[in-house]
Amino acid sequence: MGIMSFPLLIMILIAFPLSSSGGKWTYDGPVGEHHWSRNYPYCGGAFQSPINFQPELLRFDPDLQPIQLQDYNLSSKEQLTLSNNGHSVQLSLPSRMHLSGLPHRYSAAQLHFHWGSSNTPTGSEHTINGKQFAAEMHLVHFNSAKYPNISVAVDKSDGLAVLGIFIEVGEFNPAFDQFLKYVNGIKYKGQKVQVAGFNIRELLPARLDEYYRYDGSLTTPPCYPSVLWTVFRNPVSMSLRQYLALATSLFSSQAQESAPMPLFGNYRKTQLMDNRVVLVSFQQGWGLHGATSVASPMQRTLVIQQLLNGDLADLADGGLHHLLPKLQRKPWAVKNWRNNPKQQRLGQATEKHQKNKDLDTTGNNPSVWKNTHASSYMGMFGINDDALCFVSLEKNVSVRLRRHHADAQMSQALRKAVFPELNLKSYLNCRSDLDLQTIRHLLRSRPTDEANELDQALTKVSQGHKQRSMTQYQGSALTKLTGQTQAAVLKNSHNMVPTNHRLQPMEWED
C-alpha cells in the first residue's frame, strides 16, 4: 500500500469516521450488549467471545503444552496501577511479563475481572456446559513480537492472547488481597491507586497444563476477533468477603455524578460458535469420552490447496462434504442460499454475475467483501505473515457502504467480509470446521463449470442429508487433530488507512 498524504487522510477521516471510534456502552439498557453493534459493528460479527464449553465442541489435542509464564514474580518495589474504568477493576502489568510456547511472544498488559452481583454470584463470561462461575479474571497479553504495544496490536487478527481464570467463592485467597484491599480507593470511574508488585502467578490455578483453547474476540466493545483464548479448566477461589469487595463496593459512574450507578453484573452473555471448535489439553473427565478429533494442520493445508488448485471434479466425487460442520450452521450464513435455490450455485464468473452475487439487502452493490482473491490465501502457507487489521477493514467497508448509502449494513457487511478469512485461518489451526461459505469464497477464482459441480455436490449434501459425527469418518481428512503454530492470515491489500491508526482512544478491557 502506498503512503497516503496527511491532508488526504484527514479528509477521509472527517468524511468517513469509523463507527467503532466511540459511544457509551453498558451491559444492560439502551446501550447494553444487544445494542453494541450499532456503534461497534464487530460486536455483531463473527468469532465472538465468550462461549460455552459444551461437550460436542471439545477436541483433545495431545500437542498442547502447559502454559509457560515468564517473569510473573514481581518485586514489591515495583508499582502497579489499580483503576476503575467504569466497566471493571483493572490492574496494569509490566510488559516484561510474557507467555512463551505460543506462536509468538505475548507480553502482559493488564488484568481485570468480570463478576455477578451480591445476591447472584454468577458472573463468569465463559461457561462450562452451561455452568457459570462467580467471577472470571482475564490476563491480557499482546503480540510483542510483531507490535510495539497493545494499542497497535488490539485490532490485529494475531494481536492478543488472553488467559481466562474461573473464580469460585470459597477459601480466602491472600493473592487477591494484594490489591483488593485497596478497592475503596477506586470506588468511582476514573479513580486510580498505586499497588506494590507481587507474584502474579499466585492468582492462577496450580495446574497450568489443563485448559481450553479457541479463537475468539474481545468480550467488550469494540469486540475485535483478535484473541487467542486460553481458559483454564480449574477455578481458583476467593472468600465471600473478597467477592463482595468487587460486587458491592464499586460504581460505574464518576464521583461527581448525582446518582451513582453500582458496578456489578459486568459480563457478556455467551456467543454463537460460528463453526469453531475448542481444543483441550486434557483427556480425562467430563465430556471427553471419544473426543479424538479432526485433521492435522498438514492435512488441512492440502485440502485448501486442492480447493485452490486441484481437480474439483475429483473433490466432488471424493467426499469433501465430510468437511462440512456437524453442528447446524447459523442462519445469517446460509439463509440466502436456503431460501433461494438459484443462489445456491456459484454462477457465472462474469462481472455482471459477481455484482448480482454481492448485492446487499438494500439492492445496492457495495461489493465490500471483494477485497481478496484466492491467490491471497497463499499467505496461509508461509509466503507472507500479514495479519488482518480490523480497523483498516472497517474503514474500507465504511467507505464503500457510504458510497451506496448503505451505512446501516455495516455489521452485516463486516461479518460477510471477515468470516471466511477467520474461518480459514482457524481451520488451518484445527480450531474450526471448514464452513461452506468459506469453500465458496475459495472457489471464486476457479473455472465456473468445475466450481458449479462441486458446489452442487456440497449443497445437495448440506440440504439433503443430516450431518453425521465427524468421528465416524475414519480415514477421512477429519480423523486426527494436532495443534501447531498459527499460520499467517490473509493480506488485506485494500486498506484505506495505516494499520496502526487510532481515531480516538477506545475503551476496552479484554
In contact, 488 and 379? CB cutoff 8 Å = yes
Distance CA 123, CA 431 (A): 26
Residues forming a β-bridge with 227? 160, 216
Query: CB neighbours of 213 closer than 8 A, spacing ≥ 6?
Result: 61, 64, 228, 229, 230, 231, 278, 279, 280, 281, 431, 483
Distance CA 200, CA 88 (A): 18
For position 10, what pLDDT does the model report?
33
State pTM to two decimals.
0.80
CA-closest candidate to residue 46, choices 415, 495, 494: 415
In contact, 163 and 138? CB cutoff 8 Å = yes
Query: CB neighbours of 278 closer than 8 A, spacing ≥ 6?
Result: 51, 53, 57, 58, 59, 212, 213, 214, 431
**Would residue 289 show up in a list of annotated catalytic residues for this protein?**
no
CA-closest candidate to residue 349, choices 458, 438, 443, 420: 443
Single-letter amino acid code for the residue at 133: F
- SS3 for 440-457 is HHHHHHCCHHHHHHHHHH
Q: Along the 510 residues of the chain, how does pLDDT read in single tens digits?
A: 344 444 443 333 333 334 444 579 999 999 999 999 999 999 999 999 999 999 989 999 989 999 999 999 999 999 999 999 999 999 999 999 999 999 999 999 999 999 999 999 999 999 999 999 999 999 999 999 999 999 999 999 999 999 999 999 999 999 999 999 999 999 999 999 999 999 999 999 999 999 999 999 999 999 999 999 999 999 999 999 999 999 999 999 999 998 999 999 999 999 999 999 999 999 877 555 555 565 788 888 888 888 888 888 777 776 565 555 543 444 333 333 233 333 333 222 223 333 333 333 333 443 444 444 434 554 555 434 578 999 999 999 999 999 988 888 999 999 999 999 999 999 999 999 988 889 989 988 888 888 888 888 777 776 654 444 333 322 222 222 223 333 332 233 233 222 233 333 344 556
Distance CA 440, CA 431 (A): 20
CA-closest candidate to residue 397, choices 21, 6, 19: 19
In contact, 235 and 207? CB cutoff 8 Å = no
The DSSP line for 237-284 is EE-HHHHHHHHHS-BSS-TT-SS--B-----PPP---TTB-EEES--S
Please name each of the domains of the chain with its CATH number.
47-280 (3.10.200.10)
- Cell numbers at 166, concatenated: 474461573
In contact, 387 and 497? CB cutoff 8 Å = no
In contact, 274 and 51? CB cutoff 8 Å = no
Q: How far is CA 249 from the centre of its chain?
A: 31
Asked if the peptide bond before residue 17 counts as cis, ω within 30 degrees of 0, the response is no
In contact, 298 and 151? CB cutoff 8 Å = no
Query: CB neighbours of 159 closer than 8 A, spacing ≥ 6?
Result: 142, 143, 147, 152, 153, 224, 226, 387
SS3 99: strand
Catalytic annotation, pick one of 34, 35, 87, 289: 87
Distance CA 412, CA 392 (A): 16
Taken in order 146, 149, 150, 154, the sign of the CA dihedral is: negative
